[in-house]
Structure 1
Amino acid sequence: MRSEVVGASGVRIGVRVGGQRRAPAIVFVHGWAQSARVWDTQFADPELSRFHLLAPDLRGHGSSEVPEGGYDDPAAWADDLAAVLDLAGGDAVVVGWSYGGLVIADYLRTHGTRGLAGLVFVGAITEIGKGRPGGRVGPAMAGALPAALSDDVDVALPALTALGEGMAAQPVPGEVEQALLGTSLAVPPRVRRALFRRDIGSADALSAVDVPALVLHGTDDAVVDVTAGEYTAGKIEGASTRWWSGVGHLPFVESAREFDTTLRGFAEQAFDDAEGNLGRAER
């Protein structure tokens, strides 16, 4: 099922919707040059489908509108996500994969933890720019740039293909690899470039987090270095961590059953904590 919200500057944001509409919500935020399709396995999981599941396509990606600007503006990313959280209809657990972690950081620096029951960072960056520890990339991403940003398909295609091949450390179905590549190619080159035209740290935003947080990272991630996850975990007081040995940049595909079980347990606890905190506040 698809829905749509209006984000920053009136940009239309497509949202994939599943699960139980009246249940607590989990919002999935995809990464650079991808779409809500990456969460197919999670949307098909009957246990996760007991929650209200929402997965937006980032601006310029998938079914969302492709505006001229806003890609270097933290407030734009924050307000796009805020619109999705409004659709969720209550405090949500937000899962950010790869660049999606930076979108969460943008939301935190703009809106704090309003509307959040918990946060999950999956192979995620939370900063971007030269020398930013929360944005350190691995060899697969470093090797793909800057060719993957080119308007010339003869330049971009080999780079994006190599990046796709480097995403997983465990075998994944060929149709998944091809879907990742196809989605990357469908994102306009100017959008792919624009997402890298940023330089921003997130230490203050992460340090102010006061909801449960989980940092999950594959030790063999060749796209986002595991030290980026360590940085995020170190900045959020009380954050839980899962370092999955032998797993790459796609833990929700490579180790889907363990990922879904971990996410379900975290979400159940986060929603229980949020309900308990609300009850204490009302008293």
Structure 2
Amino acid sequence: MTRRMRAEVVGASGVRIGVRIDGERHAPALVFVHGWAQSARAWDTQFADPELRERFRLIAPDLRGHGGSEAPEGGYGDPATWAADLAAVLELAGGDAVVVGWSYGGLVITDYLRTHGTRGLAGIAFVGAITEIGKGRPGGRVGPAMADALPAALSDDLGVALPALTALAEGMAHRPVPGEFSQALLGASLAVPPRVRRALFRRDVDSADVLAAVDVPVLVVHGTDDAVVDVTAGEYTAGKIAGVSARWWPGVGHLPFVESAREFDTTLRRFAEQAFESVLGRAER
């Protein structure tokens, strides 16, 4: 039985986190974490996939300050805050989940790992993701589309921010994607308060030791033509985690889950099925 709904959970400091839910109510959960200045709508293609909806419970939060979630004044620079927010979402999943992090969502997952380890996780998929942030951090290296958008995309002045955010939305994909989707990306960015957009960049995080300690299955998917998060950031993440499964997709940009949706959904489904089988195997031993 499928259940399509919106819900709320309470994250760090009582902040209300909006959550999108679909798929089989009692199935194992896939938790999708979107990127900087985006929302749960980024995963529209996956939420429309009948195989994913029939096989899994699909859960996608709006990060604090994004989408339908509250936008408090502070907390954006504290890894423990992001960890607590994601922990609240994982509790909603009702069991070990496969968590999928796109772009900045990969850093949010790493914040969770820093605080909680792999508790509650059956597996992790990093998709065009960063796992570090700060000057010179290899796990957070950005591409030309993001570099060109900064710092204008952080401005309070619409006349300054709008052209930068528009160019960034246009530069996300290497292959053609529906215009409606690209415009939705731009709309999501504009809906995030500029102070939140800025706060997410005011961090300096090294994650080498955190990644090396991961002991659940990990999938890394990264387009080789990603102009937002450089492919070397994905290579860094993959190189730090033992037994990682890595997919480098030529001709794909920052939106592999849209640009190559069928291949992405199939890859994710197979990875998740194997990860959940591993959980069952560990429970039976």
Do both proteins adopt the same fold according to a TM-score greater than 0.5, normalized to the shorter chain? yes
1:154 matched to 2:195? The reply is no
Match of 1:7 in 2: 11
How do residues 193-272 of structure 1 correspond to structure 2 at under 5 angstroms? 193-272=198-277
Residue from 102, 120, 123 that aligns with 2:107: 102
Partner Cα distance (1:235, 1:105) in 2: 13
- CA offset at residue 278 of structure 1? 1.0
Computed over aligned residues only, the root mean square deviation of the Cα atoms, in angstroms, reads 0.4
1:160-211 deviation line (CA, Å, top 9, x unaligned):
0010110000001111111100110000000000000000110111000000
Matched residue SS, 1:47: helix
1:194-253 deviation line (CA, Å, top 9, x unaligned):
000000110111000000000000000000000000000001111010000000000000
Q: Name the TM-score, length of structure 2 as normaliser.
A: 0.98
1:30 matched to 2:34? The reply is yes
Match of 1:64 in 2: 69
> Counterpart amino acid of 1:57?
D
Partner Cα distance (2:247, 2:57) in 1: 24
Residue from 183, 189, 193 that aligns with 1:184: 189
- CA offset at residue 256 of structure 1? 0.4
1:88 matched to 2:93? The reply is yes
Match of 1:20 in 2: 24
- CA offset at residue 87 of structure 1? 0.2
Count of aligned residue pairs for this structure pair:
280
- CA offset at residue 21 of structure 1? 1.2
> Counterpart amino acid of 1:2?
R
> Counterpart amino acid of 2:178?
P
> Counterpart amino acid of 1:104?
I
Partner Cα distance (1:139, 1:65) in 2: 31
Partner Cα distance (1:21, 1:76) in 2: 28
> Counterpart amino acid of 2:76?
Y
Q: How high is the sequence identity, in percent, across the aligned residues?
A: 84
Unaligned residue ranges in structure 2 (runs of 5+): none
- CA offset at residue 155 of structure 1? 0.2
